[in-house]
Chains A and B, each alone.
Chain A
Amino acid sequence: MQRMGLGMMVLVACMVVLLGLAQAYAAEPGVTDVEVKVGTSAGLTGPIAVWGNRMARLGPQGYFKYINEHGGVHGRKLEQVLLDDAYEPPRSVANHKRLIESEKVFAILLSMGTPTVSASLSTILDAKIPLIFPATGAHKWGYEYKPLVFQVGADYWHMSAVMVDYILKEKGLKKWGIFYQDDDYGKDVLNGTITQLKKHGLEAVATETYKRGSIDVSGQVAKLKNAGVEVVMLGTVYREGAPFMREKEKIGWDVQTVGIAPTATQTFVDLCGSSGIGHLNTFSNPQVDDVDRPGVVEFRTIMQKYFPDEKISEEALYGYIAAKTFVAGLQAAGKDLTRASLIKGLESLQDYDNGVTDKITFSAERHQGVTASYISKIEEDTPDPKTNEKRYKYTKVTDWIKPAGY
């Protein structure tokens, strides 16, 4: 090798040092001294656009704006890169690849949809990027993918367990039918319900499916009725739950219907109209007018300040809860923020109170936040003062119930 001049050696030495420094700075994607970038893929258009916009956008962005205005977390401002997947699994996978490889986000927060996030899961796990509080109630996020995946809210198994136990105890209805969406989400509800029924020595009498986007569910309703079903669990989103209710009202079938998170929305109540009366549903967050919870008050103030034209919705409240709990994890992780320190930070949260839900405790073994829910019933509300048309609403009928066996 030729003798290198002194100048040359100094140059090379500088380059090595600089490269080393650059390596240190580039160590954690999505994190700089002044910013933390998270990524989200959700259905901002398409069948669950209402949830996508409220839960994955308004809720977290409102809270992030609030935190940023108060100096951020350890001096870092929070930014969300939000991509639309229209609730389509292939698009969700493509979005997550983009968030990880090209946007280089620090963590995935509130990505939405059971079929969509499930399809993206291998991409996420391969990249070893934390998946924080995905907006899906499938029964796996809080249990199966430690340490990278955390869940904050009760999932469909918790909710169906609460509902099954409640119905069996209060109403004694033993002949269960399940009407569910023909995909991962619906199957999760099916399995959660069946698992809980098994604990009581019961089986589902009949089950029927529908494809996302169906209009006519009269065949399924007729078959469930003919099977002598006394109570139907709706494993649906609001769009197909409402036609089910309307059809059962049309044929004069007075069956008890029950539902869980995706039908726990005023949109569902409005779409059902009079057919909704008597329907029971689990709720895992307080409602937005529950102003004795300080977190709800803070949420309302944030919505009114940053999104005054938007409805103050339960969906946005959930997004807020997820964002707030995430920020608590960031805070606990300390100034030296890496994905590993985020995970440790979240796992250190004990009896953390976000002011809305039950207290949350995470640990190395426990990545599931809240499990309790309460039950509400659809009843008639006061008529609309302008048009005099009938209105309906959910009214709470129980207190918080922890699911037995979880």
Chain B
Amino acid sequence: MFLQQVIGGLATGSIYALVALGFVLIFKATDVVNFAQGEVMMVSAFFTRTVMGWVHPHGFLTWTVVALLTILFAALFGALLERIIVRPLMNAPVFSVVMATIGLSTLLIGLSGGVIWDWDTYVIESPFSKKPVHIGGIIVTPLDAGIVAVTLGFILVLTLYFKFTKVGIAMRATQQNKQTAMLMGINVKAIFAGTWALSAVVSGIAGFLAAPILLIDTNMGSITIKGFAGAVLGGWGSIPGAIIGGMSFGVLENLATVYLPSWIKHVAAFLVLLGVLMIKPDGLLGFTVKKV
């Protein structure tokens, strides 16, 4: 049972990890915490569902097309949000931008439920099958495995991206000191837009992978707080940390529902977070970035 819960927790944890990753990406480049992260995922998921409604039949080819369209949509959506909400506040205190993102999350919920789509709950089936596979007494579905695999792969790509590519390094430089980055010739505005686009793509992928589990409706964004907790647990500002934190959070939750009494099980993961922060305030893999 223990191992089964751990494996199951990895899949839910991957979704938290992707949300956490979305947070960290924006934070790394712009110092902003985007509390509308979950709602960005929701909008992408609704978009996926709408497109799925137009294309038939639902074979692997259509799925790939829908996935690519969702990624494109997410990138544009993220860039749009940055342009409308964040860019005007570029020189305001960071806290103001954070407040704006909190408002944005409510706005997105209202627009999605009341104007563009509706308040119903929907489900879309993923290309990964949900038929369980028994491996040595543990039950895994290709869906779970797929979620974990895509998440890990994505993380690897992004870590390399931030370490070795020009744009990635430029993003890190922009986070450390906007003014100096500009003086060094980095197009800070483009970096901002690009970061938000990238973060939205991450959320879009999360929504799309997770839709069969999460169910698509305007409440999807409630996952934000768990992604946030995962990011903090793993070390705020660290990409591998976001992943480890998110996945640990998922596993902890799953283990708690089985092994802990009901009065504590639903908050156990948060209690662990508190405990870790008391011992290591930077989180598991975190490090305090020295502002230059």
**Is residue A77 within 8 Å, beta carbon to beta carbon, of the partner chain?**
no
Q: Is the CB–CB distance between B223 and A215 below 8 Å?
A: yes
Q: Is the CB–CB distance between A271 and B1 below 8 Å?
A: no
How far is it, in angstroms, between the C-alpha of A226 and the C-alpha of B4 when the chains are bound?
13
**Is residue A218 within 8 Å, beta carbon to beta carbon, of the partner chain?**
yes
**Is residue B91 within 8 Å, beta carbon to beta carbon, of the partner chain?**
no
Q: Is the CB–CB distance between A267 and B120 below 8 Å?
A: yes
How far is it, in angstroms, between the C-alpha of A273 and the C-alpha of B132 when the chains are bound?
16
How far is it, in angstroms, between the C-alpha of A205 and the C-alpha of B112 when the chains are bound?
43
Q: Is the CB–CB distance between A211 and B8 below 8 Å?
A: no
How far is it, in angstroms, between the C-alpha of A238 and the C-alpha of B122 when the chains are bound?
11
- Interface-centre pick from A47, A215, A222 (highest chain B CB count, 10 A): A215
**Is residue A250 within 8 Å, beta carbon to beta carbon, of the partner chain?**
yes
Which residues of chain A from 258 to 296 have any CB-CB distance to chain B below 8 Å in the complex? 267, 270-271, 273
**Is residue B151 within 8 Å, beta carbon to beta carbon, of the partner chain?**
no
Q: Is the CB–CB distance between B254 and A219 below 8 Å?
A: yes
**Is residue B12 within 8 Å, beta carbon to beta carbon, of the partner chain?**
yes
Q: Is the CB–CB distance between B120 and A271 below 8 Å?
A: no
CB within 8 A of B253: which of A49, A216, A251, A388? A216
Q: Using an 8 Å CB-CB cutoff, how does the interface string of B244-257 with A read, 1 for contact, 0 for none?
A: 00000010011111
Q: Is the CB–CB distance between B215 and A219 below 8 Å?
A: no
Q: How large is the interface on A (under 10, 10 to 19, 20 to 34, 35 or more residues)?
A: 35 or more
**Is residue B280 within 8 Å, beta carbon to beta carbon, of the partner chain?**
no
Q: Report A-chain residues with C-beta under 8 Å of the C-beta of B9.
A: 216
Shortest beta-carbon distance, A254 to chain B, in Å? 13
Q: Is the CB–CB distance between B141 and A250 below 8 Å?
A: yes
Q: Is the CB–CB distance between B5 and A222 below 8 Å?
A: yes
Q: How large is the interface on B (under 10, 10 to 19, 20 to 34, 35 or more residues)?
A: 35 or more
Q: Report A-chain residues with C-beta under 8 Å of the C-beta of B265.
A: 219
Q: Using an 8 Å CB-CB cutoff, how does the interface string of A234-257 with B read, 1 for contact, 0 for none?
A: 000011001100100111100000
**Is residue A220 within 8 Å, beta carbon to beta carbon, of the partner chain?**
yes
Q: Report A-chain residues with C-beta under 8 Å of the C-beta of B285.
A: none
**Given A45-B109, A49-B119, A267-B121; A218-B254 close (CB under 8 Å):** yes
**Is residue A23 within 8 Å, beta carbon to beta carbon, of the partner chain?**
no
Which residues of chain B from 74 to 123 have any CB-CB distance to chain A below 8 Å in the complex? 109-110, 113-114, 119-123
Q: Is the CB–CB distance between A239 and B258 below 8 Å?
A: no
Q: Is the CB–CB distance between A218 and B219 below 8 Å?
A: no
CB within 8 A of B139: which of A50, A182, A220, A250? A250
Q: Is the CB–CB distance between B215 and A252 below 8 Å?
A: no
How far is it, in angstroms, between the C-alpha of A182 and the C-alpha of B254 when the chains are bound?
17
Q: Is the CB–CB distance between B57 and A273 below 8 Å?
A: no
How far is it, in angstroms, between the C-alpha of A220 and the C-alpha of B215 when the chains are bound?
19
**Is residue A386 within 8 Å, beta carbon to beta carbon, of the partner chain?**
yes
Q: Is the CB–CB distance between B4 and A270 below 8 Å?
A: no
Q: Is the CB–CB distance between A222 and B258 below 8 Å?
A: yes
Q: Is the CB–CB distance between B125 and A273 below 8 Å?
A: yes
How far is it, in angstroms, between the C-alpha of A283 and the C-alpha of B56 when the chains are bound?
35
Q: Is the CB–CB distance between B219 and A252 below 8 Å?
A: no
Q: Report A-chain residues with C-beta under 8 Å of the C-beta of B125.
A: 273
Q: Report B-chain residues with C-beta under 8 Å of the C-beta of A387.
A: 56-58
Q: Is the CB–CB distance between A223 and B258 below 8 Å?
A: yes
Q: Report A-chain residues with C-beta under 8 Å of the C-beta of B163.
A: none
Q: Is the CB–CB distance between B56 and A386 below 8 Å?
A: yes
Q: Report B-chain residues with C-beta under 8 Å of the C-beta of A250.
A: 130, 132, 139, 141
How far is it, in angstroms, between the C-alpha of A324 and the C-alpha of B186 when the chains are bound?
68
Q: Using an 8 Å CB-CB cutoff, how does the interface string of B122-143 with A read, 1 for contact, 0 for none?
A: 1101000010100000010100
Shortest beta-carbon distance, A83 to chain B, in Å? 15
Which residues of chain B from 164 to 220 have any CB-CB distance to chain A below 8 Å in the complex? 213-215, 217-219
Q: Is the CB–CB distance between B123 and A270 below 8 Å?
A: yes
Q: Using an 8 Å CB-CB cutoff, how does the interface string of A317-356 with B read, 1 for contact, 0 for none?
A: 0000000000000000000000000000000000000000
Smallest Cβ-Cβ distance to A43: which chain B residue: B119
CB within 8 A of A252: which of B110, B132, B214, B255? B132
Q: Report B-chain residues with C-beta under 8 Å of the C-beta of A210.
A: 266
Q: Is the CB–CB distance between B120 and A50 below 8 Å?
A: yes
**Is residue B159 within 8 Å, beta carbon to beta carbon, of the partner chain?**
no
Q: Using an 8 Å CB-CB cutoff, how does the interface string of B1-36 with A read, 1 for contact, 0 for none?
A: 100110011001001000000000000000000000
Smallest Cβ-Cβ distance to B226: which chain A residue: A215
How far is it, in angstroms, between the C-alpha of A159 and the C-alpha of B34 when the chains are bound?
45
Smallest Cβ-Cβ distance to A387: which chain B residue: B56
**Is residue A308 within 8 Å, beta carbon to beta carbon, of the partner chain?**
no
Q: Report A-chain residues with C-beta under 8 Å of the C-beta of B56.
A: 386-387
How far is it, in angstroms, between the C-alpha of A49 and the C-alpha of B114 when the chains are bound?
11
**Is residue B288 within 8 Å, beta carbon to beta carbon, of the partner chain?**
no
Q: Report A-chain residues with C-beta under 8 Å of the C-beta of B132.
A: 250-252
**Is residue B222 within 8 Å, beta carbon to beta carbon, of the partner chain?**
yes
Shortest beta-carbon distance, A216 to chain B, in Å? 5
**Is residue A361 within 8 Å, beta carbon to beta carbon, of the partner chain?**
no
Smallest Cβ-Cβ distance to B11: which chain A residue: A216
How far is it, in angstroms, between the C-alpha of A18 and the C-alpha of B258 when the chains are bound?
70
Q: Is the CB–CB distance between A239 and B123 below 8 Å?
A: no
CB within 8 A of B113: which of A49, A216, A222, A267? A49
Q: Report B-chain residues with C-beta under 8 Å of the C-beta of A270.
A: 122-123
Smallest Cβ-Cβ distance to B120: which chain A residue: A50
Q: Using an 8 Å CB-CB cutoff, how does the interface string of A386-402 with B read, 1 for contact, 0 for none?
A: 11110000000000000
A-B contact pairs, 24 of them (CB 8 A): A47-B219, A50-B120, A53-B119, A208-B262, A210-B266, A215-B12, A215-B213, A216-B213, A216-B257, A218-B4, A219-B256, A222-B258, A239-B121, A239-B215, A243-B215, A246-B130, A249-B130, A250-B132, A270-B122, A273-B123, A387-B56, A387-B57, A387-B58, A388-B57
A-B contacts besides A49-B113, A267-B121, 13 pairs, CB < 8 Å: A49-B217, A53-B119, A213-B222, A215-B15, A216-B250, A217-B257, A218-B254, A219-B257, A251-B132, A252-B139, A386-B56, A387-B56, A387-B58
Interface residues of B (CB under 8 A from A): 1, 4-5, 8-9, 12, 15, 56-58, 109-110, 113-114, 119-123, 125, 130, 132, 139, 141, 213-215, 217-219, 222-223, 250, 253-258, 262, 265-266
- Nearest 4 Cβ contacts at the A-B interface: A219-B257, A49-B119, A219-B258, A216-B12
